[in-house]
């Protein structure tokens, strides 16, 4: 079994088992959450495939199964299911147990505006760095979409995301080479700013922000639409 797959299994085991916990009962949300994750997966897998073909990043065969689909190892496809699900569980668990742990509407508006503006500035200043440029443009677009269509999610997400960064630094740290001989996947130094936290590129923190926010927003939209249809 590959190291990449072992990391994914460990990441999923706890959240999946606790999804049936009698209070949270996340499994009841699966009919909204799972389609949201798969839609997000399609977007990010297409991005992943394009960037892999462009040589923006690459995968180390030492740490994966050797099964490749369009230059991506099988584990990479599973990554876009496992990690968003595990983090969605954490998000809903925090939201359930601490319902007041969120920003007010005014502060949410201000922070969203600041993040979007800063993201666009960083993107434009680094237009020659493919990963940096696309990553920050995507962040601005996804956050704006989220703010206008699922503002309540953004109110919670902006304060919960720092908590989600704890497992991110552990998992992504290992995947990018912290504590192991070589990275599970690594980046073309010509395509990002070169700033790293341990082995993690700065851009990954914001890539992760977009990846985890997207299914939460889509889940909220699907739930809201379902409730509206029931009323009608």
* Cβ proximity of 191 and 130 under 8 Å: yes
- Asked if residue 159 belongs to a domain, the reply is yes
Predicted pLDDT at 229: 73
Summarize pLDDT for 55-93 with one digit per residue, the tens.
Answer: 999 999 999 999 999 999 999 999 999 999 999 999 999
- Asked if residue 230 belongs to a domain, the reply is no
Count structural domains, the chain.
1
- Asked if residue 106 belongs to a domain, the reply is yes
Summarize pLDDT for 204-216 with one digit per residue, the tens.
Answer: 999 999 999 999 9
What pTM value is reported for the model?
0.95
- Asked if residue 232 belongs to a domain, the reply is no
- Asked if residue 77 belongs to a domain, the reply is yes
- Asked if residue 187 belongs to a domain, the reply is yes
Residue found under tokens 């939460």: 216
Euclidean distance between CA atoms 149 and 167, whole angstroms: 27
Euclidean distance between CA atoms 78 and 82, whole angstroms: 6
Summarize pLDDT for 11-40 with one digit per residue, the tens.
Answer: 999 999 999 998 899 999 999 999 999 999
Q: What is the DSSP letter of 22?
A: T
**How many CA within 13 A on the CB side of residue 204?**
21
User: Is residue 28 packed enough to be buried (19+ CB in 10 Å), middle (13-18) or exposed (0-12)?
Assistant: exposed
For residue 175, the enclosing domain spans 3-222
User: Is residue 211 packed enough to be buried (19+ CB in 10 Å), middle (13-18) or exposed (0-12)?
Assistant: buried
- Asked if residue 228 belongs to a domain, the reply is no
Beta bridge partners of 177: none
Predicted pLDDT at 62: 93
**What is the number of H-type helices and E-type strands within the chain?**
7, 6
- Asked if residue 73 belongs to a domain, the reply is yes
């Amino acid at each position: 079994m590959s190291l990449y797959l072992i990391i994914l299994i460990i990441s999923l085991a706890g959240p999946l088992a606790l999804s049936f916990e009698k209070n949270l009962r996340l499994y009841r949300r699966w009919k909204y959450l799972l389609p949201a994750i798969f839609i997000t997966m399609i977007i990010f897998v297409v991005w992943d495939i394009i960037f892999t073909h462009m040589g923006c990043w690459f995968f180390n065969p030492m740490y994966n199964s050797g099964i490749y689909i369009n230059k991506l190892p099988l584990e990479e496809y599973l990554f876009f299911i496992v990690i968003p699900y595990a983090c969605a569980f954490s998000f809903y668990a925090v939201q359930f147990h601490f319902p007041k742990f969120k920003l007010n509407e005014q502060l949410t508006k201000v922070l969203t505006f600041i993040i979007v503006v800063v993201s666009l500035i960083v993107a434009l200043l680094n237009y020659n760095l493919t990963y940096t440029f696309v990553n920050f443009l995507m962040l601005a677009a996804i956050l704006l979409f989220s703010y206008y269509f699922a503002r309540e999610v953004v109110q919670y997400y902006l304060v919960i995301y720092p908590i989600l960064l704890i497992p991110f630094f552990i998992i992504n740290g290992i995947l990018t080479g912290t504590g192991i001989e070589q990275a599970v996947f690594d980046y073309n130094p010509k395509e990002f700013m070169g700033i790293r936290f341990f082995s993690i590129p700065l851009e990954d923190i914001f890539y992760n922000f977009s990846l985890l926010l997207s299914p939460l927003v889509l889940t909220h939209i699907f739930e809201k639409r379902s409730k509206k249809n029931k009323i009608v």
